[in-house]
Structure 1
Amino acid sequence: MALDTPTILSGLRVLLGSLAVTVGLVIVFTFLSTFIRFRLDARKHTDSKNQLALRPPLIPHMLPVLGSTLTFSDQNVGTYWTWLKGQAEHYGQGAFSIVLAGTRTNLIFSEAGISATFKSRALSRAKLDQKLGVNVLGMSKADSIKAFPYDVDEKEKSTTARIHSEHLLSSSAVNSLTSKFMETFRGALDRDARLEEGDEVNLYEWLWQEVFGASTTALCGSRLLEMHPEFDRDYRVWEENMLAMLFGKPRLFASEAYNARDAAVQKLEAWLEDGYKQPSEREKDPEWSPTFGARVMYKRHEFYKQQGLSIHAQAGFDLIFLAGILSNATPATGWLLLHILSPTGTPNFRSRIMEELSSCQKTDGSVDIPALTRLPLLNSAFHEVLRLYVDLLVVRQVDNSAAIGNHYVKQGEQVMAPTWMTHRNPLFFKNPEKFDPERFLTKDSETGKVGYSTTGLGGKYFPFGGGHYMCPGRTFAKQEVLGTVAVLLLNYDIDFVKYIGQDTVEKGERGFPGIKKNYAGNQVVGIEGDMRVRIKKKSS
């Protein structure tokens, strides 16, 4: 007997009603069970009289498997960490666990726990890097395993860690790279006829273009941008969406990001293939060449061949290496310049910076970089930018169950150490939400000499990560930031015109730029808004 339409609709309503009740019961049960477990575990920590490592309390959630994924993915930078900080203070905890996409993830923010995270041999990053290779760089799974091997015989084979130690972190290597960057940066500015008479620009947007060109040339040589002058457009779209791809956002909802990634990798493939046709240049092992740039690039390319990577994977690996050099140094430079040039910032900050910088200018107008890295106020302000504007997540996989400080984590889980909570902890830093350029200044009790220092801040301040996986480009990044600031302020008159793109509550005017939306862990946060300035080359 055929069913009529009303009967079918009635059946569907009953089915959907039953489904809704089932889903509702699952949500209620999940929340109540996790809430009760959380309160019991939090009390266990509070009542504990011994030094035994305990499991971090699991934050209550309503959705099985997804857990806290949706709340953690809030793109208003700092919102989740501010909430979590409140929970930590209320329950007296130094770590919590959350469920992220089915994986128990331990958020550790106690000083001892963070220090232990950097030292623990039970934690590693290979599988996480392999995921990055596939999702962010477009590698095949096989290539990602070759690019980020779990076990490497360091005595017999080259490794990226060894390459970076010898050709990126050593004094001679980093000074050579900085010198090339400064030469390229100054050369580009000198060729800009608009700056002779003076020009109005949006400071950060203009700065990004100039620094991108100089950094890419210093690292990869001049040939890349000669072949693909529009490479910066693809790179920037990819960079801004990197975390979304890492978290597995489907291509359907991020087609522009994936298209930009594919275009950037394709351009790098063509650049690599062109360079590999010139073996004579490689045989000379130069400090820098137009084809492949700094020596560290040659050495990385040798590693790629050792690992048997496809040309597509090699291009992706170069893309993430370039991002490691560019993605943090450029916004850090932007934030530092914005604070120096702000008319509403710290009184006399700019004049004091100028006084320091003038001591580092050579007679030919160039900058003494080693002297620059010793200037107390400038370096203190640089570290204050990193303290205030770095949203780094030190992420590790748990290979073997272990105690991380007094936090016990199990094999197969993840550990995350967030800078946002520690860098803004009032127990570690007074008035943590305020930009204080003098925060890291020191004074010798005997000589009265003023200096700067981050010594002794271990698990309180770690803008470059820590342990075996500390950022290999940190020394160059610092010299790049300070060098850029010095070149601009010593050689150009820069006058504030107005803020743009960021509303303030005062008189409806536009105010100091804010933080750009992004997922947690986007390292030096992006700049929302800008500063309109007039820039003019100083007369010699």
Structure 2
Amino acid sequence: MAATIQTLVSEGQTLLFGEHLNASKPKSYILSKDANDFWSYDYLLFSMSSFSTPARVCLFIMLLLLPFAATYIITSLLFKATRWSNVRGRRAPLVPYSIPVVGHAMAFAFSVADLIQDNLHLCANELDNYSPIRFKGMNVELSFISGPKNVFSLFRQSRKFSAKASVVIAIDRLFGTPKHLVPSFYDHDDTGYDGKPDSGSRDVAPHLRIHHTVHVQVIKYLSGSGLKPMTNKLMENIAKTMLSSGIGGVWLEMEDLFDFCKSKLLHASINSMFGEYLTALHPDFVDDYWKFDDCTTTLVKGFPSFMVPRSWAARRKCLDSLKHWKAYVEKLVDADGRTFYEGLDPHFGSQFIRQRHEGFNKMEPMNADSIASEDLAIMWAANSNAIPAAYWFLYEIFRDPELLGRGTVDDPHPLNQFWAERFLLKTGSDHSGPLLQSYRKKHVDIPATTRPELPVRVDSAMEDSAVQPEVKYSTNGLAGAWVPYGGGQSLCPGRHYAKQEMLMTFAIMSTCFDIEILQEPGEVTLPDLGYFGLGVLPPKNKTRCRIRRRTFRKDSVVE
């Protein structure tokens, strides 16, 4: 039989594989061109013996790749059909993918920025200008929305959004709150941010409304008159930290300007918001914090501790320090007996942090571990975006002497323009949150539980919102093109603190120091897109510079 098969193969006859239906025992068969001729054999792979090894390898690879190719072809056809459809209420087209079931999950894990950038061209078509598109993971679905008009329309319906899901993911994955509290406490509270619980929400005791409590405290103390004591202290601490950094009147070369900025600014910010006991009790806390911050891109993906032990250890060290600080400070508070200090607090550093702790202490599910996670969360929110933004502010101005001259004139507009540009060019954040209700844009429905993603880098400033250089600074006509802090109910409440930190840093550094960026012609510092989705992007490469302190008259105010 084998000889017959070999003869058929050598003669180029067509062979079909199947099963002999009339056999008492099921056996495989080969059918030749003559439909009446059958040859039985016990295993299908027997026929493979007549092929050469390279041919068998190629056939195996083809069979292996077949499910992926079929998945990509099918999803591509579905994407085109949905994209060009005029049916009202249709879903946003799903971007083609090749891995069955998994979808875009692997791309999420490696680089969300590359995934979005590679598919940004799919947002525009002849029927719907900047139409939404969807990405699908194993257990998550993202709708990507671009174009100023679409973004502006989305924020006008901001009450359909909730940032709760993002908060729950962050407090769990990034900041390490005890696992049992995530479903039973944070996720259980669906009452919203407003004073009145959302209609249809669960019956949650007023003092256990964690999302509302945090939101109210942030609004009260990080904006308006409540912010002033903290920003005054911040400016004092930035000046004190920078002027006591050991930099004299002789040029001092530095390997990285960002390392210098993030160390000094974080120390000043922590002492302004949390008081001086934290860094006094734990002198290495600033370094520990930045080690944790370096791991956020890994932690946010939810990898378990055995896969990324260093990341978990870096976070654990910060949390342990915060727990120790809280216990120490509360002993001082008990010994003091005073319940309120106007503006700044001698123990907790600020009324903001003290009121947060008093609110958390009234919540029965909260414990020392969960409160430490909340402390780490607010510290990250206040610094891990503002400090990289302050660095970009300094880098762009000091690398261009002409720009520096414009920024120091007695005119507020250049500073505001520089500040705005840093967030336009160096931000890689996603905004808004899962939908509470379905949202429709140009016949496309984005259903509830879907997470809309908005581009907030220069990609979102499309052609119809472009402005000419050297015109008077204004935000007119840019609605929907520049959304560095989100919008609607998800508008970042700490934006005023961040802006003050940026402007104070520039004012002090440009007044007290000379800085020269030591880069070759054409060399630039690039943002690290690995942090895309977490806010302002830190620099990817180091920025060599040299710095010296300016000298002033003895009667100078600066001295």
When normalised by structure 1's length, the TM-score is 0.81
| Structure 2 residue corresponding to 1:473, chosen from 487, 494, 498 | 494
d(CA) in 2 for partners of 1:480, 1:405: 40
Long gaps (5+) in structure 2: 1-44, 50-56, 197-205, 554-559
Matched ranges for 1:128-277 at <5 A: 128-144=166-182, 146-147=185-186, 149-151=189-191, 154=195, 156-157=206-207, 159-170=213-224, 172-201=225-254, 202-277=256-331
Q: Is the 8 A contact 2:461 2:482 kept in 1?
A: no
CA distance in 2, matches of 1:495, 1:107: 40
Q: CA offsets, 1:59-87, max 9 Å, x none?
A: 01111232122334444x85434322222
| Secondary structure in 2 matching 1:493 | strand
Residue 313 of structure 1, CA deviation = 0.6
Give the match for residue 526 of structure 1.
Answer: 538
Q: Counterpart of 1:200 in 2: which secondary structure?
A: strand
Does 1:535 find its partner at 2:548?
yes
Shift of 1:17: 11
| Pair 1:133–1:495, CA change in 2 (3 A) | closer
Alignment partner, residue 311 of structure 1: 368
Query: Which digits, 9 at most, give the CA deviation of each residue in 1:396-441, with x for residues without a partner?
Result: 223333325653112332221121364443332359xxxx7x5xx5
Whether the aligned pair in 2 keeps the contact of 1:135 and 1:248 (CA below 8 Å) is yes
Q: 1:405 to 1:381 in 2, by over 3 A?
A: farther
Cα distance, 1:24 vs. partner? 3.3
CA distance in 1, matches of 2:226, 2:250: 37
Give SS of 2:248's match.
helix
Shift in Å, 1:58? 0.6
Aligned-pair CA distance for 1:302: 2.2
Show the counterpart of 2:440. 403
Larger Rg: 2
Residues of 1 paired with 2:278 and 2:319: CA distance? 12
Instruction: Say which of 30, 41, 65 aligns to 2:82.
Output: 41
* TM superposition shift of 1:178: 1.2
> CA separation of 1:399/1:19 partners in 2, compared to 1, >3 Å: closer, same or farther?
farther
- The change in CA–CA distance for 1:301 and 1:407 in structure 2 (over 3 A counts) is farther
- Residue 328 of structure 1: how far off its partner (Å): 1.1
SS of structure 1 residue aligned to 2:97: coil
CA deviations on 1:163-210 (whole Å, 9 max, x unpaired) are 12211112x222221110111111123333433555333322111111
Q: Which one-letter code corresponds to 1:531 in the other structure? A: R
Query: Residue 476 of structure 1: CA displacement?
Result: 1.1
Aligned length: 479
CA distance 1:514–1:27, change in 2 (3 Å):
same
- Secondary structure (helix, strand or coil) at the match of 1:396 reads coil
Change (3 A) 1:24 1:189: closer
Match among 110, 134, 139 for residue 102 of structure 1: 139
Distance of 1:90 and 1:137 partners within structure 2: 41
- Corresponding letter in the other structure for 1:453: S
Distance 1:417 1:335 in 2: 22
How far 1:334 sits from its partner (Å)?
0.9
Task: Rate the CA distance shift 1:85–1:270 in 2: closer, same or farther, 3 A.
Answer: same
In structure 2, the partner of 1:30 is 71
TM-score by length of 2: 0.78
Structure 1: unaligned runs, 5 residues or longer: 1-9, 357-373, 443-451
**How far 1:314 moved relative to its partner?**
0.5
Say what the alpha-carbon RMSD is for the aligned residues: 3.0
Among 68, 88, 102, the residue aligned to 2:123: 88
Residue in structure 2 matched with residue 292 of structure 1 by the alignment: 348
Correspondence 1:68 to 2:81: no
Counterparts in 2 of 1:284 and 1:399: CA distance versus 1, 3 Å: closer
> Does the C-alpha gap of structure 1 residues 81 and 491 become closer, same or farther in structure 2, counting only changes over 3 Å?
same
CA distance 1:395–1:247, shift in 2 (3 Å): farther
Instruction: Summarize the Cα distance change of 1:96–1:275 in structure 2 as closer, same or farther, 3 Å threshold.
Output: same
